């Protein structure tokens, strides 16, 4: 070894030691990290407490791994994507896609974007990352079409959860309701003292549709609910009409200003002790966490009345739009999203359980652990209000019909209108 090389080696070692001392760790450049830079636009509707926290935590992991990427966190406020989805559609149709965007697994992804040719298959990524072995087949099916996979599930949310204020329940000696009859009895007690029984924030009508899907499952059972989406059960059937009638009775027990509130403002009514209960997907759990509430301390939960054993699945996914301006960064982001680290950064704050089955359970609170347990054994059915059960066109028209129903309570009108929409969307004969 020559003298020059003898000198260079200690210098290199010293430099390495210095870097280590300064950053606390040796920078390790993993596969795919080199050369990923530039603007990266991610499009979601996650602006409320809990949702935004989860997204930020996920983006932090991404930024750490890909420090040269400039993240553009594009959000359009409005629960369930009530505004964002329209903006997205315009952009996609106009050939101006973001690099990746939030989309529900199931019909919202497949019918709106995959069949119509707006997405690139990412089966290669699933194979490279070994995800086929660590995501449940039910979820893989929701993001697949004709043998190709089109997105990466970030999470699993449960739609049919009833949340309640524990202090109120303790004060009045109440037990959480198992049936809608139990629910109405609780309403009699709390309303006598001026407390709203069920808070609702349906400034976007989706929140009433959300409530209704729980009512449908309670009245039809998981099988009957599924039969609606196979076109085997008519919307004009007595069972469905019964569900509309029940919904109308429930709506007599919500806050008067429900049409002016968003979903998180409705959850806040429970936090403030102005309402006893709220029926919302478990992004409400993320909201409770964001205001410092702890499960089984300040709030409790049960499956929405009459739905124990059924898990209405909502899954947020992200894919690769054809023509994504920064395809490399989008793929890099999807790798992070599907990783254990990404899922475990996002989900404990978001109020959802990880889509992967091999993550660190100890990072999840008592509610989320109970949701993991239920997800593993319950009958899984897709959400109507959150894009999985039926195409977006059905959901949009159904929302209009639901607005009429909230105002009129006309069961015959609403059920025959729903049947027409079902036929028009090719679901029913
Ligand atoms: C759902 C979405 C959830 C949550 C919720 C309220 O559609 O899947 O992640 O964001 O809307 O905005």
Q: What string of pLDDT tens digits covers the 429 residues of the chain? A: 333 443 333 333 333 333 333 333 333 444 446 689 999 999 999 999 999 999 999 999 999 999 999 999 999 999 999 999 999 999 999 999 999 999 999 999 999 999 999 999 999 999 999 999 999 999 999 999 999 999 999 999 999 999 999 999 999 999 999 999 999 999 999 999 999 999 999 999 999 999 999 999 999 999 999 999 999 999 999 999 999 999 999 999 999 999 999 999 999 999 999 999 999 999 999 999 999 999 999 999 999 999 999 999 999 999 999 999 999 999 999 999 999 999 999 999 999 999 999 999 999 999 999 999 999 999 999 999 999 999 999 999 999 999 999 999 999 999 999 999 999 999 998
User: Distance (Å, rounded) from C-alpha 250 to C-alpha 263?
Assistant: 17
Rounded-to-integer distance, Cα 76 and Cα 221, Å: 35
CA of 82 to the centre of ligand 1 (A): 10
Cβ proximity of 52 and 286 under 8 Å: no
240 and 228 in contact (C-beta within 8 Å)? yes
The verdict on the CB of residue 79 being under 6 Å from ligand 1 is yes
In short, whether 318's Cβ falls inside 6 Å of ligand 1 is no
β-partners of residue 100 are 42
Choosing among 3.40.1160.10, 2.60.120.380, 2.120.10.60, 3.40.190.10, the CATH entry for 158-312+385-424 is 3.40.190.10
* CATH among 2.60.120.10, 3.90.1150.10, 3.20.20.70, 3.40.190.10 for 38-156+316-376: 3.40.190.10
**Which residue has tokens 């599930």?**
153
Helix (H) or strand (E) holding 427: none
Nearest CA residue ID for atom 7, ligand 1: 80
Instruction: Count the neighbouring beta carbons within 10 Å of the beta carbon of residue 48.
Output: 21
176, 300 Cβ separation under 8 angstroms: yes
The H or E element that residue 295 is part of is: none
Indicate which atom in ligand 1 lies nearest the CA of residue 51: 10
Distance CA 146, CA 131 (A): 18
Residue 80 CA, ligand 1 centroid: distance in Å: 4
Q: Is 111 in the pocket of ligand 1 (CB under 6 A)?
A: no
CA of residue 303 to ligand 1 center, whole Å: 18
Is residue 51 in contact with ligand 1, taking CB distance under 6 Å? yes
Nearest to residue 319, comparing CAs of 43, 53, 31?
43
Q: Structure tokens of 297?
A: 């301390």
In the chain, the N- to C-terminal Cα span, in Å, equals 84
Q: What's the CA gap between 145 and 127, in Å, rounded?
A: 16
For the Cβ of 210 lying below 6 angstroms from any atom of ligand 1, the answer is no
Task: State pTM to two decimals.
Answer: 0.92
Q: Is 283 in the pocket of ligand 1 (CB under 6 A)?
A: yes
CA–CA separation, 19 and 86 (whole Å): 48
- By CB neighbour count within 10 A (0-12 exposed, 13-18 middle, 19+ buried), where does 327 fall? middle
Q: Do domains 38-156+316-376 and 158-312+385-424 have the same CATH topology?
A: yes
Instruction: Find out whether 320 and 120 touch, Cβ atoms under 8 Å.
Output: yes
407: which residues sit within 8 A by CB, 6+ positions away? none
The pLDDT value given to residue 21? 33
CA of 219 from ligand 1 middle (Å) equals 24
Q: Is the CB of 154 under 6 A from ligand 1?
A: no
Let me know if 236 is exposed, middle or buried by CB neighbors in 10 A (0-12, 13-18, 19+): middle
**374 within ligand 1 shell (Cβ under 6 A):** no
Q: Decide if 38 contacts 312 (C-beta within 8 A).
A: no
Give the distance (Å) from ligand 1 centre to CA of residue 244: 24
**Domain assignments of the chain as residue spans, ordered by start:** 38-156+316-376, 158-312+385-424
pLDDT attached to residue 33: 60
């Amino acid at each position: 070894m020559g003298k020059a090389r003898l000198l260079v080696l200690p210098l290199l070692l010293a430099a390495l030691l210095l870097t280590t001392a300064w950053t606390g760790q040796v920078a390790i450049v993993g596969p795919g990290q080199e050369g990923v830079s530039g603007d990266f636009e991610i499009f979601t509707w996650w602006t409320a407490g809990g949702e935004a926290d989860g997204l930020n935590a996920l983006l932090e992991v991404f930024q750490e791994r890909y420090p040269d990427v400039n993240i553009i966190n594009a959000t359009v406020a409005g629960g369930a994507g009530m505004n964002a989805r329209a903006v997205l559609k315009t952009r996609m149709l106009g050939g101006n896609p973001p690099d990746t965007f939030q989309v529900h697994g199931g019909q919202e992804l497949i019918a709106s974007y995959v069949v119509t040719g707006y997405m690139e298959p990412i089966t290669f990524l699933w194979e490279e990352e070994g995800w086929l072995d660590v995501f449940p087949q039910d979820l893989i099916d929701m993001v697949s079409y004709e043998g190709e996979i089109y997105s990466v599930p970030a999470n699993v949310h449960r739609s049919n959860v009833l949340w309640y204020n524990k202090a109120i329940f303790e004060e009045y000696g109440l037990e959480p309701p198992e049936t809608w009859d139990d629910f109405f009895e609780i309403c009699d007690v709390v309303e006598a003292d001026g407390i709203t029984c069920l808070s609702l924030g349906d400034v976007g009508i989706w929140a009433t549709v959300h409530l209704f899907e729980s009512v449908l499952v309670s009245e039809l059972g998981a099988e009957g609910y599924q039969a609606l989406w196979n076109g085997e059960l008519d919307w004009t059937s007595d069972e469905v009409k019964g569900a509309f009638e029940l919904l109308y009775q429930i709506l007599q027990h919500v806050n008067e200003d429900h049409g002016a509130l968003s979903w998180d403002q409705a959850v806040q009514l429970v936090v403030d002790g102005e309402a006893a209960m709220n029926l919302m997907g478990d992004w409400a759990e993320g909201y409770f966490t964001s205001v410092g509430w702890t499960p089984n301390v300040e709030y409790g939960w049960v499956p929405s009345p009459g739905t124990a054993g059924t898990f209405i699945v909502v899954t947020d996914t992200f894919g690769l739009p054809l023509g994504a301006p920064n395809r490399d960064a989008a793929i890099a982001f999807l790798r992070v999203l599907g990783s254990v680290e990404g899922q475990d950064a996002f989900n404990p704050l978001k109020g959802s359980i990880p889509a992967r089955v091999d993550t660190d359970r100890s990072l999840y609170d008592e509610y989320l652990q109970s949701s993991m347990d239920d997800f593993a054994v319950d009958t899984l059915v897709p959400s109507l209000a959150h894009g999985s059960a039926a195409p977006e066109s059905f959901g949009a028209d159904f929302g209009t019909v639901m607005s009429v129903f909230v105002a009129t309570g006309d069961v015959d009108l609403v059920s025959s209108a729903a049947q027409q929409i079902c036929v028009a969307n090719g679901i029913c004969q």
